[in-house]
Chains A and B, each alone.
Chain A
Amino acid sequence: MKRDLTFILCALAVLAAAGLALDPGGYAMRILCLVFLTAAMAQSWNIMGGLAAQISLGHAAFFGIGAYASTILQVEAGLSPWIGMWIGMVLAVAAAMLLALPTVRLRGHYLALATLAFAEACRVIANSIGITGGPQGISVPYMGNSPAMMQFSQSGGYLPVIGALFALVFGLFALISRSRLGYMLRAIRENEDAAELSGVSAVRVKIAGFAISAALSALCGTVFAQFMYFFDPDSIFSPLSISVRMALVAIIGGLATLSGPLWGAVVLVVLEETARSRFSALPPGVTPLLVGSLLIATVLWRPAGIVSLLPAPGGVRPGWLKWRKRNA
């Protein structure tokens, strides 16, 4: 537990230091925000995908519900996203319960594909009803700098918000991971039938895990919407750029580990952005090709993720140094 706390505090210290050093309106600041936001998204997914090995490819559903709930409430009722985010979380939990009806007994690939279909269904619905703005998408109303409405004109303004989100999601993950719930989730990962026999109610544990994971995803969705200022059904419910990405980052970093999603986010976001800015003159397609190759290489070379590169005890330190250099 102490190591977990140290890790989270170190990460926050780096975030704060970089936040003070960087230009609040600059590109590096945006990347910093994106890294921590992406890490939080991946960690929300990691609760079920990592601890319990319940691979969902539909977390964009909860993410999008969070984004739409807070944004629609702001557009239609002038409600602050600080309040709207709670409603988004409640709705996401409700959606998770609804999804659990047909999927809680599913395993492995069936679960992955059922969740994928659920997120796609959300996308179609958001596209065809009026309140979401339909395919036209929805913009967060322009407020300039307004902390009360969770809106800032520069990326730097979002850093404390994203830092808090990061601390919350990572903190909760550490707590769950070491709690009774965490052990039961792991029991399900190892052998669901055996877990049932030893008195774990797999259905209840999975529903609890999914509810927490969905709520946190929705929270990330609200912050994402505020950070991006605009989204549409295809982008917020995107199977590839949201659902798969959440899982991807956790897997690249290291499944079921606390630090994995952050490492995954650092590597993926920094690599993508570097490739995009360096290779913008090369023929289009090179950047996604490289990202795809990296993914293949990671899986082949380190199936357990980047975390497995770090020496086990007290091994966080050399990694930190590397990380700071990259972002300096």
Chain B
Amino acid sequence: MTGTSSPRARLRRLLLSAPLLAAAAAAAAAETPGTVKVGVVLPLSGANAKFGATSRNGIELALQGINAAGGIKGLGGARLELVYADVPTPNAAGSAVQRLVMQDKVVGVIGSFVSSITIAGSEVTERAGVPWITHAFSDKITGRGYRNIFQITPPGSVFGETQFGFALELLDRPEAPVEKVAILYEDTAYGTSQAAGLRAAAEAAGVEVVVDEAYPLGITDVTPLVNRLRAAAPDLVFPVSYLNDSLMIIRGMRQQGLDMPTIGGAAGYVIPDFQRGLGDLAEGVFSISPTNYDLVPEEAEAYFDTYGEFMTQEAQSYAAALELMADAISDAGTTDPQAIRDEIAANDYCEGFVAGMPGGCPEFDGTGLNVKAVPVFVQWQGEDLVTVYPPELARGPAELGE
């Protein structure tokens, strides 16, 4: 029987006595077969395949770094090995995660870019007692109060609040006061989470929300949205969406001569395809982002050299997630998932990709939320995405136009 109680009991024993812990660690290290497996759950086919692919690029880069630096030191230099599961929809998540945990015996899981897939998959790891580190945005991920899930990004609502706060601090100036704003978002877990944060922040700041529209995922025509923008004439526009809609919204706005500052909600607004699709129209568009590649110049260069495009925020965040996981395995000195879980919860790692996380080294609260996570404000300047706010993290000045 592999019930959840037995690893927990084992864990309690381990924690109670330090000498016993050391002995167990040594024993585990001695019997380590030389590799330790981590599961990677990503949408590699289907509608979000692009984001899955870039996440994987980042993870592979981090993996090379870890193994080149001597593998998992706490396990006698065991090589870290990844087992991928392509999970395009939540319905497929349960079986894939069960396979990773029970058949491939992974000691932890990282993924998945999409919130709903993360929620569905982590139901299985929660019951199996295996830790999962995610970079998905939904508030629900850590809102469930689970023990084995860790969210390294701010949840969507905080994300939305910060998106609004930063925008106001940077763009509300005497010559261009911000009195009315528009919120456009796709009706997905990510879109609605973030819109809720934007809405709350606008209300708190006493700024009027003149357009507040959800639209269906896969919308084929955004003209109705743009018409509403034109009629309401907001001072700022906050669109939250994946790529196709973001291109249509920006083009539609420019067609009708709407050039108020636009502050995207990460996802589609901070990937190279955005600038490739819009060309000069991308210039000056802002976005909130969990992190940005100019915060980790060395890793960003290695990524660029390997993949030929800049490192996206999800690539960077998932690389950081793998490093956190690897360090926790090393610190635990055992392949017992619950011991690894406790090491993640008490994270002390702050190098490599993790050093580039804007809020500083991750610290997780009881629900697994990284309380130190803060997003950054980025702006398209040429083919580059430049961190422009907050001042302590900015790598360049914001171009405010006019």
| Chain A residues near B (Cβ < 8 Å) | 23-27, 30-31, 34, 124, 127-128, 134-137, 139, 142, 153-155, 227-232, 234-235, 238, 241-242, 273, 276-277, 280-281, 284-285, 287-288
10 A-B contacts (beta carbon < 8 Å): A26-B98, A134-B192, A135-B192, A136-B192, A137-B140, A231-B90, A232-B189, A235-B90, A235-B120, A285-B44
Interface of A is mostly: helix
Further pairs besides A228-B91, A235-B91: 19, Cβ < 8 Å: A23-B2, A124-B216, A134-B187, A135-B192, A136-B140, A137-B116, A153-B127, A155-B98, A227-B94, A230-B119, A231-B120, A235-B89, A241-B92, A276-B96, A276-B99, A277-B99, A277-B103, A285-B44, A285-B45
* Contact status B90-A136, CB under 8 Å: no
* Contact status B140-A142, CB under 8 Å: no
Q: What are the residues of chain A within 8 A of B266 when measuring CB–CB?
A: none
* Contact status B102-A26, CB under 8 Å: yes
Distance of A225 Cα from B119 Cα, bound (Å): 14
Distance of A128 Cα from B127 Cα, bound (Å): 31
* Contact status A234-B83, CB under 8 Å: no
Interface residues on B, range: 35 or more
* Contact status B90-A280, CB under 8 Å: no
- Of all chain A residues, the one with the shortest Cβ separation from B53 is A284
Q: What are the residues of chain A within 8 A of B1 when measuring CB–CB?
A: 24-25
* Contact status A287-B86, CB under 8 Å: yes
Q: What are the residues of chain B within 8 A of A234 when measuring CB–CB?
A: 89-90, 116, 217
Distance of A284 Cα from B2 Cα, bound (Å): 32
Number of A-B contacts (CB under 8 A): 118
Distance of A106 Cα from B69 Cα, bound (Å): 67
* Contact status A136-B138, CB under 8 Å: yes
B147 CB to closest chain A CB (Å) equals 10
* Contact status B85-A27, CB under 8 Å: no
Contact of A23 among B102, B123, B140 (CB under 8 A): B102
A250 CB to closest chain B CB (Å) equals 18
Q: What are the residues of chain B within 8 A of A27 when measuring CB–CB?
A: 95, 98-99, 102-103
B49 an interface residue at 8 Å Cβ cutoff? yes
Contact of B83 among A25, A229, A280 (CB under 8 A): A280
Q: Could you say which of A136, A153, A285 has the most chain B C-beta atoms within 10 Å of its C-beta?
A: A136
* Contact status B86-A284, CB under 8 Å: yes
Contact of A273 among B52, B95, B217 (CB under 8 A): B95
Distance of A135 Cα from B194 Cα, bound (Å): 12
Q: What are the residues of chain B within 8 A of A277 when measuring CB–CB?
A: 99, 103
* Contact status B52-A284, CB under 8 Å: yes
What per-residue 1/0 map shows which CB atoms of B188-225 lie under 8 Å from chain A? 11011100000000000000000000101100000000
Distance of A232 Cα from B188 Cα, bound (Å): 10
B128 an interface residue at 8 Å Cβ cutoff? yes
- Of all chain B residues, the one with the shortest Cβ separation from A269 is B95
* Contact status A25-B128, CB under 8 Å: yes
